[in-house]
Chains A and B, each alone.
Chain A
Amino acid sequence: MQKLFAFIFNYRVTFVFLGIELFCLFLVFSKNDYQKTAFVSTSSNVTGDLVSTKQGVTDYFSLDEQNQALAEENARLRNLIIKHRALTTIAPNTPYSDEADKFRVYAAKVVKNSIHNHNNYITINIGSDDGISAGMGVVTESGVVGSVVSCSEKYSLVASVLHSQTLISSKIKRIGTLGSIYWTGRNSTELGLKYIPRHVKLQKGDTVVTSGYNAVYPDGITIGIIDDFELQDNQSFYEIKVELASELDKLNFVYVVENIHSLEQLKLEEQIEQ
């Protein structure tokens, strides 16, 4: 017994090291992303306040670009209003579109962003107090950004599309073929598209958009452009590289999209799976 104690005492540093290291690795590889991110991350109120103060200072250095982007966005929205008015005056009783009623949009500001890890997260400055909840989609005017994974009262954590578990139901706009978008992990602009069968004729430059079969994003939001594709002789699906449309390294303002019917849709789909 005494020898055992002596052994433990002699190697106490190693034991403490192993203990802490295993705990850290448990934190890294524990599968439950949602709990983990709610537990300690930049979306908690304290660290959220700190990073948003820091962002408040650094924002001044890109005011020009931000103004430019907002002005362009304004112009685009004005155009939409005009088109919408034209539609409703021509036929006042026809609903504009089902899709438009199905989604509610919240504007948010990015307070922290990362693109260099293998699981990247974005922190935005609205949270459960503003009506945000986990599972909502996040987009910009140029394309898809990610989806909300957890919220505090004032901040939300968004898993960016640059995440190892990203899987977005998508389609090729020109021909309507369905596939799934994932991140290849190589760099911050390259996504992959899988499950496009070999009989489809692809072209470089084809636009890939969200399919609307998922409950997160509206139909037809741009994801990216096909950059390169390859077809092995023994494979039934293409290997496709897609260039991401939204510039994730320059995010300032994003829109959180709430699908009002998402619960209903998910419940129905679960019933079928059972």
Chain B
Amino acid sequence: MAFCFVYVALILVLPYEMPPITVLLIGFGIGIIIDIFGDTLGMHAASTVFMAFLRPTILKQLTPRNGYGQNFSFSIHETGLLWFLAYAGLLIFSHHLVLFLIDAAHYKLFGQALLKTFTSSALTLLMVVIGMYLFSGGEKR
């Protein structure tokens, strides 16, 4: 079974220059809204904040050969598909891992949580990439 949490894409595409603390706060805001409507208070907020925290580190690790340059934006046209898959894949995986581990903490069903993490990460990544193609198609320069 796999679950899809496309809302994480909102954190993925925040501007590169945005200060990390702002990203953390936005992550918390998005997470808590998801939680309030899903009756899962704290779970999505915790995992989205964790992902927002990892974002600068992963961006640093994945720096392209000539840096990010002026006017860098997270569209697949600009970054290339492979780079985007690596960037989004790592962050989505970290988000889902925290989410399902917290969820499973009540039952110690960690094996099942890991399995769900892998399948759901793949599904969310696929949906995010499709979404990126759909909604940023017109911005070719």
CB closest residue in chain A, given B28: A20
B59 at interface (Cβ–Cβ under 8 A)? no
Known: A40-B36, A116-B3, A157-B39. A185 touches B24 (CB 8 A): no
Complex Cα gap A123–B38 (Å): 11
B115 at interface (Cβ–Cβ under 8 A)? no
CB closest residue in chain A, given B50: A21
Question: What per-residue 1/0 map shows which CB atoms of B96-135 lie under 8 Å from chain A?
Answer: 0000001111110100100000000000000000000000
Q: A21 near B106 (CB under 8 angstroms)?
A: no
Known: A25-B42, A117-B103, A157-B39. A186 touches B109 (CB 8 A): yes
The smallest C-beta distance from A210 to any residue of chain B, in angstroms, reads 24
A27 at interface (Cβ–Cβ under 8 A)? yes
Residues in A neighbouring B21, C-beta threshold 8 A: 12-13, 16
Complex Cα gap A123–B49 (Å): 27
Residues in B neighbouring A119, C-beta threshold 8 A: 40, 106
CB closest residue in chain B, given A42: B39
Q: B53 near A117 (CB under 8 angstroms)?
A: no
CB closest residue in chain B, given A120: B39
B12 at interface (Cβ–Cβ under 8 A)? no
Q: A121 near B39 (CB under 8 angstroms)?
A: yes
Q: A185 near B37 (CB under 8 angstroms)?
A: no
**Tally of contact residues, A, Cβ under 8 A:** 35
Which residues of A in the span 148-190 have a Cβ within 8 Å of any Cβ on B? 157, 164, 184-186
Q: A28 near B37 (CB under 8 angstroms)?
A: no
Question: What per-residue 1/0 map shows which CB atoms of A24-53 lie under 8 Å from chain B?
Answer: 111111000000110111100001001100
Known: A24-B49, A27-B45. A41 touches B109 (CB 8 A): no
Residue among B41, B50, B102, B105 with max Cβ neighbours from chain A (10 Å): B41
Q: B53 near A17 (CB under 8 angstroms)?
A: yes
A66 at interface (Cβ–Cβ under 8 A)? no
Q: A40 near B41 (CB under 8 angstroms)?
A: yes
Complex Cα gap A157–B40 (Å): 13
A interface secondary structure, majority: helix
Complex Cα gap A185–B3 (Å): 17
Complex Cα gap A50–B109 (Å): 33
Q: A185 near B43 (CB under 8 angstroms)?
A: no
Which residues of A in the span 62-94 have a Cβ within 8 Å of any Cβ on B? none
The smallest C-beta distance from A237 to any residue of chain B, in angstroms, reads 20
CB closest residue in chain A, given B36: A40
Q: A26 near B38 (CB under 8 angstroms)?
A: no
Residues in B neighbouring A114, C-beta threshold 8 A: 38-39
Known: A20-B28, A21-B49, A27-B45. A51 touches B37 (CB 8 A): yes
Q: B106 near A16 (CB under 8 angstroms)?
A: no
B46 at interface (Cβ–Cβ under 8 A)? yes
The smallest C-beta distance from B29 to any residue of chain A, in angstroms, reads 10
A118 at interface (Cβ–Cβ under 8 A)? yes
Q: B41 near A164 (CB under 8 angstroms)?
A: no
Give me 16 other A-B pairs in contact (C-beta within 8 A), A13-B53, A24-B43, A42-B39 excluded: A12-B21, A16-B21, A17-B52, A17-B53, A20-B25, A21-B49, A25-B46, A26-B42, A28-B43, A28-B102, A29-B105, A41-B36, A42-B36, A116-B3, A186-B109, A186-B112
B interface residues (Cβ-Cβ under 8 A, vs A): 3, 20-21, 24-25, 28, 31-32, 35-43, 45-46, 49-50, 52-53, 56, 102-107, 109, 112
